Amino acid sequence: MSFSSLGLSEPLLKAVSEQGYEKPSPIQEKAIPAVIEGRDVMAAAQTGTGKTAGFTLPLLDILAKGKPARANQARALILTPTRELAAQILESVETYGKYTKVKSTVVYGGVKINPQMMRLRQGVDILVATPGRLLDLYNQKAIRFNELEVLVLDEADRMLDMGFIRDIKKIIAALPRNRQNLLFSATFSKEIRELAKGLVNDPIEISVSPRNTTAEKVTQWITAVDKKRKPALLTYLIKENNWRQVLVFTKTKHGANKLTRHLEAEGLKAAAIHGNKSQGARTKALASFKDGSVQVLVATDIAARGIDIDLLPQVVNYELPNVPEDYVHRIGRTGRAGSSGQAVSLVCADEHKLLCDIERVIQQLIERKPIDKFIPVNELPPSRALKVAKNKKPKKPKQDKVEHKDGQRSAENSRGHQPVRRR
Ligand code: ADP
Ligand code: MG
């Protein structure tokens, strides 16, 4: 299968081949023709499988054909949970769209709103946005949706985790009913399926990997350690193994800062990214990490979500995440687009339950490797045996109570629209 057989136009094929992509990834193979045809799409695929190009390429194709947007209008809206991800998607849109006349821009919080208002004034074909800032702009009438043709929710599961559900519903309620909907996510949780029910219309469902499994090319292992000795163990591992580019996850912003200071004191070039850092600081940290001048990037889950760094070899879970699915996302940072990687978790006795939850979700017991100098005093109990999932009768999904209380059901039940089919 080649990109040219998917129905993409020449300017896009040219940009794709310049990127060095030889053939479409499995998700692209399925999503691109469906989107061009005007179908609604729901796609679940783990990180690093090429979802961005999966919706960006056909979107560019569609928009290159129609009339340009009028003042303060957007023809396609891509919603995404974080600023970093929004900036990165815009970058992809510009890369793939460089031989088209499609106009795109990005809006997110944490920076001045006025320049964003100015840019929206002339209208834009593709608007990439985080939900909060988009609503601000909408409420100030800087953006209107009368001409909106396509809505994309990227990293939809994370948007729900981050509590954007109300914002998303408000945005959806402001959109024309007759539109195309694309929903992309790393995993399909129950909540996502609930959201999707009222959003997509007769969708094509694409799922290219089993639900909630971790990337196969990633080697995972854990090592038991006393909580107090985690900073020393991390430094030891980085130095001993000569890790050149390590992404380290902590649970809290404070923890990220503290660990970064420790690493710097040990002579390692480290930087932290999390929600309390200014946009400038986050962009700078990420750029330094990508170009190799920062060796260790310490991140919270939210800040790291969706960031694509080519060939990231090493991920460390300094602390296990509270939500097992976050483990899947974290280690999806490594071994991307076919390269191999390694994910190590430093686990203390307190985290035993979190570990068992993760192993249950990924349906796999993670190999344990003791490190001689760091054998813990507080022993980490053995993992629980995995229960084999039985095929139970599917339960009727529960209704979302909040919706009823608020009377905010319009978005859920707005199924009156017809799919926009294109040929
Ligand atoms: P996802 O959104 O699924 O996490 P991305 O869209 O960010 O994945 O893509 C991950 C990486 O794979 C990016 O570096 C991208 O440039 C690369 N990539 C995407 N499509 C292809 C392709 N068809 N061939 C080779 N590399 C690709
Ligand atoms: Mg993505």
238 and 182 share a domain?
Answer: no
- Greatest mean pLDDT among 117-131, 215-229, 308-322 lies in 117-131
Which atom of ligand 1 lies at the shortest distance from residue 21's CA?
24
Asked if residue 394 is part of any domain, the answer here is: no
The domain spanning residue 363 has which CATH number?
3.40.50.300
Probe ligand 1: pick from 30, 308, 312, 339, max atoms within 8 Å of CB? Answer: 308
pLDDT of 31 over the 60 cut: yes
Beta strands of 261-327 (E only): which ranges? Answer: 270-273, 296-299, 314-317
332 CA: nearest ligand 1 atom = 4
Judge if 328 and 238 occupy the same domain: yes
Same domain, residue pair 22 and 132: yes
Q: Find the residues whose C-beta lies inside 6 A of ligand 1.
A: 21, 24-25, 28, 45, 47-53, 308, 310, 336-337
> Whose alpha carbon is nearest atom 2 of ligand 1?
51
Of 2, 5, 16, 25, the one to substitute when testing ligand 1's pocket (max ligand atoms within 8 A of C-beta) is 25
Residue 7 Cα to ligand 2 midpoint, Å, equals 22
Dump pLDDT digits (tens) for 44-59.
Answer: 887 778 899 999 999 9
Residue 407: pLDDT over 80: no
Q: Are residues 260 and 135 in the same domain?
A: no
Q: Does residue 186 sit in the same domain as residue 230?
A: no
pTM above 0.85, yes or no: no
User: String of b and e for 373-390 (b: at least 16 CB within 10 Å)?
Assistant: ebebeeebeebeeeeeee
Residues 67 and 134 in one domain: yes
pLDDT for 98-146, tens place per residue?
999 999 999 999 999 999 999 999 999 999 999 999 999 999 999 999 9
Output the CA torsion 224→226→231→237 (10° steps).
Answer: -30
The number of angstroms, rounded, from the C-alpha of 9 to the middle of its chain's C-alpha atoms is 27
Q: What is the pLDDT of residue 328?
A: 83
Q: Are strands 296-299 and 314-317 parallel, antiparallel or unpaired?
A: unpaired
Rg of the chain over Cα atoms, rounded to whole angstroms, equals 22
Residues 157 and 104 in one domain: yes
Q: Is residue 74 part of a domain?
A: yes
- 107 CA to middle of ligand 1, Å? 23
- Same domain? 158 vs 12: yes
Residue 388 counted as domain residue:
no
Same domain, 231 and 314: yes
Same domain, 236 and 328: yes
- CA terminus-to-terminus distance, the chain: 21
- Ion ligand 2 residues within 5 Å by Cβ: 51-52
| Closest residue by CA, ligand 1 atom 16 | 50
Number of domains the chain is built from:
2
The answer to whether residues 18 and 85 belong to one domain is yes
Residue 338 is assigned to a structural domain of this protein? yes
- Given a cut of 70, is residue 399 above it in pLDDT? no
One-letter amino acid for residue 332 of the chain: G
Residue 264 lies in a domain: yes
The phi, psi pair for 86, rounded to 5°, reads -60, -45
Is residue 379 in a domain? Answer: no
**DSSP annotation of 310:** T
Q: Which domain holds residue 32?
A: 3-211+406-413
With respect to residue 392, please indicate whether it lies within any of the assigned structural domains.
no
Q: Could you tell me if 296 and 360 lie in one domain? A: yes
Tell whether 399 is covered by a domain: no
